[in-house]
Copies of this chain bind each other. A is one copy, B any other.
Amino acid sequence: MNTELIFCVDGGGTSTRARLYSSTGAQLAEARAGSCNVSTDPLEAAGSVTQAWSACAAAIRHDAALLDGVNTVIGAAGTLPPKSRAIFDAALPAFGTCEVVTDGYAALIGAGGGRPAGLIIAGTGAVGHRLLADGRSIRRDGFGWAGGDRGSGFWIGRKVLRHGVRAIEGLIVQTDLSRLLFDRIGGYAGFQDMVASLRPNHVAALAPIALDAARAGCPEAQGILDGAIRELAELVGLLDLPEDAPLYFNGGLAEALKPGLGARIGRGFDAPQADAVEGCRLIAMGQAPREITAAVGYPDPALVEGGKAERVGE
Contact = CB atoms under 8 A, between A and B. Distances in A.
Interface stretch (A106-114, A156-164, A277-285): A156-164
Nearest to A182: B303
Contact of A165 (B83, B147, B170, B196): B147
A196 B80 contact: yes
Interface residues of A, number: 51
A177 to B, nearest CB: 12
A40 B196 CA distance: 7
A29 interface: no
Nearest to A298: B170
In the assembly, how many copies of this chain are there? 2
Interface stretch (A51-59, A186-194, A265-273): A186-194
Most chain B CB inside 10 Å of its own CB: which residue of A164, A187, A189, A203: A189
16 contacts: A39-B196, A82-B192, A83-B193, A84-B196, A141-B165, A143-B195, A146-B198, A146-B203, A147-B161, A147-B162, A147-B163, A148-B162, A169-B238, A170-B297, A170-B299, A192-B305
A188 B303 contact: yes
Contacts of A141: 165, 169
Most chain B CB inside 10 Å of its own CB: which residue of A83, A163, A164: A83
B80 A299 contact: no
A26 interface: no
A14 interface: no
A97 to B, nearest CB: 25
Nearest to A297: B170
A189 B82 contact: yes
Contacts of A189: 82, 305
A81 interface: yes
